[in-house]
Amino acid sequence: MQATRTTCPYCGVGCGVRAEIDDGQVVGVTGDEGHPANFGRLCVKGTALHETLGDHGRLVRPRVDGRETDWETALAAVAERLAATRREYGKAAVAGYLSGQLLTEDYYVANKLFKGFLGTPHLDTNSRLCMASAVAAHKRAFGADGVPCCYADLEEAELVVLVGSNLAWNHPVLYQRLKVAKRDNPLLRVVVIDPRVTDSCEIADLYLGLAPGSDARLFTGLLAWMADEGKLDDIYLERHTQGLEGALAAAREEDCRLEAIAADCDLDGERLETFFYWFASHLHVVTLFSQGINQSSSGTDKAGAIINCHLAGGKIGLPGAGPFSITGQPNAMGGREVGGLANQLAAHMDYDSPGARDRVTRFWATEGALPELPEGPGHKAVALFEAIERGEVRALWVMATNPAVSLPKAERVRAALAKCPLVIVSECVTDTDLLRYADIVLPASSWSEKDGTVTNSERCISRQRGLVPPPGEARHDWWIMTEVARRLGFGAAFDYAHPSEIFAEHARLSGFENDADLSQDGARLFDISGLAGLDRGRYDALAPIQWPVTAATPQGTPRLFADGCFATPDGRACLVPVRSQLPAQALSAARPLRLNTGRIRDQWHTMTRTARAPRLMNHRSEPFIELHPDDALAHGVTDRQLARLSGAGGDYLGRIRLARGQRRGEVFVPMHWSDRFSKQARCNGLLAAHLDPHSGQPESKHGAVAIAPLTLGWEATLLVADDLADEPWWCEGAIYWSRIPLGHAERWQLAGGEPGQTRDWLAWVQRVLPVAPSLWCDDPTGGRLRAAGLDEAGRLRWWLMVGPPAELPGLGWLDERFAEAACGDALDTVRRRRLLAGCDDGAADAGPLVCSCHQVGQRCILEAIRGGDRSVEALGARLACGTQCGSCVPELKAMIEEETAICAS
């Protein structure tokens, strides 16, 4: 057994991972105790990393026009078709769409190829949907896209404000760090600002459940309040900033009395004043913000309003102080560094930075390869797909993202993709919604195979190391692009043999003419020239380090702007005038509910990786719609019922979850489900594409929808053996279906029929399932049916229950039966009954999973609570739940509270 240090490929916390490799396979992972992001901790997704690996479902051969082929043919086809499009329709007819899940080296090569040598400005990335507003706000305020803070600031703060961030679920290890900090420092206060009560509220001293989209009003109000109460840091403002007057004047265009702000944000006045008072009276304040701010039609201004308050109070550049935009993807920051956004050129140089175009041209020029950089910025993500729809962009290469799922107005995006004459997709798995539109499919290597670097939310560059070889013919993204570049005649500029060479070039560019005296556009903040000299050995051994890394700062730089000097021409930070705006997607009588979309604890984006670990499918198994019980009553839907949401672009089908923490008038749906996992549960089908004017980021958090119950005749749960699940005939005729991978089988939730109608189940089973029923138990009185099919050898092949899934047993036992060679060999009555019941009478049925790490179910926990375990610690001691990554602790607490309340009443 051998252990290698690498970095987690999920969220922007960027945890260090120790991977154990045995016989060419990753057999286990633990947290890297030496990594400064996590010091040994991992969350449940990180802990399950090795369970998501394996060759099944992986793309292993290139495909051209639907046929598998070899690399030579595929690379030649890519090069020829790109060249032909360029020749016939011009450089701007070619586009690329990248992702914050590419490594920095992949990203650098892509940026250089598209902008530098294909000469198209149209290269954008899914960071447009994610961090673009924060990037734009940083540039306006600081003169560069620099995140001032580091993780240790959360530990050194007196007040931490979480705005539009569900840290507990989406950056769990950082949340754990904050929780420990709070335990160790009873004076540390936490405020959560989110329309929805989330698990992050577990550690909140104050919760502000504001009206969706009213954050700018809250923070411009705070600025005015600070001014009125004499809480501005006049000395800091005078020495290090400009623009206070304009920012204050804009804030004061609205009524700045507390009552007026509280009314506009729909908040309790006292709570609002408490927050204002806490913010204004502490120096060491960190405001951590994420998608509740960024994914808005005025996200840049919202981030700007937050930054204004920090600048006005001098709460920046100090330990425990600063506005902290937390990144989502593992390498969102790396993509910003190389310049992967369509408005960027390279290495923190934009088109409008004087001299930048010429400088990058000179840097990329080699003997035999002359770059042809575009004149100005290209289309941002949403506009890019509109240009494809109009036929202006005719060739698109997508890498490591799924625009058919994650972009708003998803149906129009799909129509554009269908129309686009050339779609090239680099992807790791065989089946995604996007691949249907691909003319050329290129199999890419994945985490555990790839080798390079990523930069996390605190600007820390870490190595992601190749642990095992890619399966089949899958290749690294940088290698694929380099080979295409060669075939296009740009070989001399793409002569890389190893990612270390790409990284060294990237580091050199960051320092190239990066000097206040030498260049017209001043010194650039992003400078890692201190790493430009790394040879392969030192690159391989690179320890995590925070940029800037220069000759003057060889150990890296944890905190930016400590000297009060910013990256603007005069060194002063800018406060910007912000006029608050509400969501652009308007509510109406036809669509009266506000749609909020976001993430769940155990899934990652379109589930191509997390759904491979069965235990991660347990926390939330089906697409859902969360809403307040009062709204449910008003709209005629009940808990666990299936319902339909209708929005601007289409419908969404999911199961109702009643939640008292949900604001009235608002529904929350997860962003994760694609057509691969459910019939119609893509939340982006519901959203219109309203964009922030500065960043081009879509308003993914504020849709407008109607809700109605799905009126159905029947519901059923079907389990089928894994090897049968590829041809899901059983979905036909279902109004709703949802697919839930288990360990050895797949679970399908099915629903359909007119009210009062049922199916002829026997005929259906005989028609759609490959094995005839061996067991059949039909209860005509209750309308419940259970059946199972075993093959001739006695192997369980399918299991069916007709009835609401609430009646399902925990499916662990049944899943195991699918792994048995011959479970039905001796089908005595007991065995028969157990199989039909779907559980072993002897084994307690655990119920839906709460603790994913230790596989502890709801029923066991409830029993323990009723038995007297009235604290998280007591539950942990008895059942081990909540003792590993801690993500389920808020849920455990809620269960204890609820049970205690029930007992008391």
Ligand X SMILES: Nc1nc2c(c(=O)[nH]1)N[C@H]1C(S)=C(S)[C@@H](COP(=O)(O)OP(=O)(O)OC[C@H]3O[C@@H](n4cnc5c(=O)[nH]c(N)nc54)[C@H](O)[C@@H]3O)O[C@H]1N2
What are the residues binding ligand SF4 (CB under 6 A)?
8, 10-11, 13-15, 38, 42-43, 45-46, 171-173
Nearer to ligand SF4, 42 or 435 (CB): 42
d(CA 668, CA 685): 14
Which residue intervals of 9-118 are DSSP H helices?
44-47, 71-89, 104-111
Nearer to ligand X, 456 or 519 (CB): 456
Nearer to ligand SF4, 17 or 801 (CB): 17
Nearer to ligand SF4, 115 or 171 (CB): 171
- Binding residues for ligand X, rule: CB under 6 A, are 11, 99, 101, 126, 129-130, 163-166, 169-170, 193-196, 198, 212-213, 215, 290-292, 295, 328-329, 399-402, 405-406, 426-429, 432, 444, 446, 450, 477, 596-599, 601, 603-606, 608, 671, 683-684, 687, 700-701
**165 touches which of ligand X, ligand SF4, Mo ion, none (CB within 5 to 8 A by kind)?**
ligand X
Residue 613 contacts by C-beta under 8 Å, 6 or more apart in sequence?
48, 51, 52
**Please, what is the minimum distance in Å from the beta carbon of residue 34 to ligand SF4?**
15
**Please, what is the minimum distance in Å from the beta carbon of residue 291 to Mo ion?**
7
Residue 836 contacts by C-beta under 8 Å, 6 or more apart in sequence?
775, 777, 786, 787, 788
d(CA 742, CA 815): 7
**Please, what is the minimum distance in Å from the beta carbon of residue 26 to Mo ion?**
25
Bridge partners of 787, per DSSP, are: 776, 800
- Reference 605, options 350, 397, 403, 755; nearest CA is 403
Nearer to ligand X, 295 or 519 (CB): 295
**Please, what is the minimum distance in Å from the beta carbon of residue 828 to ligand X?**
45
Nearer to Mo ion, 130 or 218 (CB): 130
**Please, what is the minimum distance in Å from the beta carbon of residue 406 to Mo ion?**
9
Bridge partners of 770, per DSSP, are: none
**401 touches which of Mo ion, ligand X, ligand SF4, none (CB within 5 to 8 A by kind)?**
ligand X
**15 touches which of ligand SF4, ligand X, Mo ion, none (CB within 5 to 8 A by kind)?**
ligand SF4
Buried-state track 567-584, b at ≥16 Cβ within 10 A, e below 16: bbeeebbbbbbbebbbbb
Give CA separation, 715 vs 642, 657, 710, 757, 801, in Å.
10, 17, 11, 11, 9
Nearer to ligand X, 124 or 840 (CB): 124
**Please, what is the minimum distance in Å from the beta carbon of residue 135 to ligand SF4?**
21
- Reference 570, options 247, 244, 143; nearest CA is 143
d(CA 221, CA 215): 10
Nearer to ligand SF4, 13 or 413 (CB): 13
Instruction: Give the up-direction half-sphere exposure of residue 198: CA atoms within 13 A in the CB hemisphere.
Output: 27
**Please, what is the minimum distance in Å from the beta carbon of residue 331 to Mo ion?**
11
Nearer to Mo ion, 130 or 611 (CB): 130
**198 touches which of ligand SF4, Mo ion, ligand X, none (CB within 5 to 8 A by kind)?**
ligand X
Give CA separation, 301 vs 85, 136, 418, 582, 765, in Å.
39, 9, 35, 12, 57
- Reference 470, options 452, 451, 449; nearest CA is 449
**808 touches which of Mo ion, ligand X, ligand SF4, none (CB within 5 to 8 A by kind)?**
none
Give CA separation, 432 vs 426, 609, 678, 750, in Å.
11, 11, 12, 21
The 10 Å Cβ neighbour count of residue 376 is 11
Given a contact cutoff of 8 angstroms between Cβ atoms, the answer to whether 659 and 628 are in contact is yes
**596 touches which of ligand SF4, Mo ion, ligand X, none (CB within 5 to 8 A by kind)?**
ligand X
d(CA 805, CA 747): 11
Strands 189-193 and 159-163: parallel
- Reference 348, options 357, 358, 339; nearest CA is 339
Which residue intervals of 266-369 are DSSP H helices?
269-281, 291-294, 299-312, 332-338, 356-364
Instruction: Supply 329's token pair.
Output: 């993807």
Task: Measure the CA angle with vertex 641, ends 636 and 646; round to 5°.
Answer: 65
**169 touches which of ligand SF4, Mo ion, ligand X, none (CB within 5 to 8 A by kind)?**
ligand X
Nearer to ligand X, 203 or 716 (CB): 203
**Please, what is the minimum distance in Å from the beta carbon of residue 166 to ligand SF4?**
13
d(CA 648, CA 39): 45
- Coil, strand or helix at 628: coil
**46 touches which of ligand SF4, ligand X, Mo ion, none (CB within 5 to 8 A by kind)?**
ligand SF4
**606 touches which of ligand X, ligand SF4, Mo ion, none (CB within 5 to 8 A by kind)?**
ligand X
**Please, what is the minimum distance in Å from the beta carbon of residue 592 to Mo ion?**
29
**476 touches which of Mo ion, ligand SF4, ligand X, none (CB within 5 to 8 A by kind)?**
none
**13 touches which of Mo ion, ligand X, ligand SF4, none (CB within 5 to 8 A by kind)?**
ligand SF4
Nearer to Mo ion, 231 or 702 (CB): 702
d(CA 146, CA 148): 6
Instruction: Supply 5's token pair.
Output: 């240090």
**Please, what is the minimum distance in Å from the beta carbon of residue 455 to Mo ion?**
14
**14 touches which of ligand SF4, ligand X, Mo ion, none (CB within 5 to 8 A by kind)?**
ligand SF4
**Please, what is the minimum distance in Å from the beta carbon of residue 192 to ligand X?**
9
Q: Which residue is nearest to Mo ion (CB)?
A: 328
**Please, what is the minimum distance in Å from the beta carbon of residue 43 to ligand SF4?**
3
Nearer to ligand SF4, 13 or 342 (CB): 13
Return the axis-axis angle of helices 215-228 and 258-265, rounded to nearest 10°. Answer: 170
**Please, what is the minimum distance in Å from the beta carbon of residue 610 to ligand X?**
8
**135 touches which of Mo ion, ligand X, ligand SF4, none (CB within 5 to 8 A by kind)?**
none
**8 touches which of Mo ion, ligand SF4, ligand X, none (CB within 5 to 8 A by kind)?**
ligand SF4
**881 touches which of Mo ion, ligand SF4, ligand X, none (CB within 5 to 8 A by kind)?**
none
Nearer to Mo ion, 328 or 452 (CB): 328
**680 touches which of Mo ion, ligand SF4, ligand X, none (CB within 5 to 8 A by kind)?**
none
Instruction: Supply 800's token pair.
Output: 């069916």
Given a contact cutoff of 8 angstroms between Cβ atoms, the answer to whether 647 and 703 are in contact is yes
- Binding residues for Mo ion, rule: CB under 5 A, are 130, 328
- Reference 412, options 400, 404, 424; nearest CA is 404
**477 touches which of Mo ion, ligand X, ligand SF4, none (CB within 5 to 8 A by kind)?**
ligand X
Nearer to ligand X, 694 or 817 (CB): 694
**Please, what is the minimum distance in Å from the beta carbon of residue 841 to ligand SF4?**
38
**Please, what is the minimum distance in Å from the beta carbon of residue 29 to ligand SF4?**
9
Nearer to ligand X, 659 or 751 (CB): 659
Buried-state track 754-787, b at ≥16 Cβ within 10 A, e below 16: eeeeebebeebbeebbebebbbbeeeeeeeebbb
**Please, what is the minimum distance in Å from the beta carbon of residue 674 to ligand X?**
8
Nearer to ligand SF4, 10 or 151 (CB): 10
Return the axis-axis angle of helices 244-252 and 215-228, rounded to nearest 10°. Answer: 110
**Which DSSP string corresponds to 441-478?**
EEEBP-TTT--EEEE-TTSEEEEE---SPPSTT-B-HH
**Please, what is the minimum distance in Å from the beta carbon of residue 212 to ligand X?**
4
Nearer to ligand X, 572 or 612 (CB): 612
Q: Which residue is nearest to ligand SF4 (CB)?
A: 46
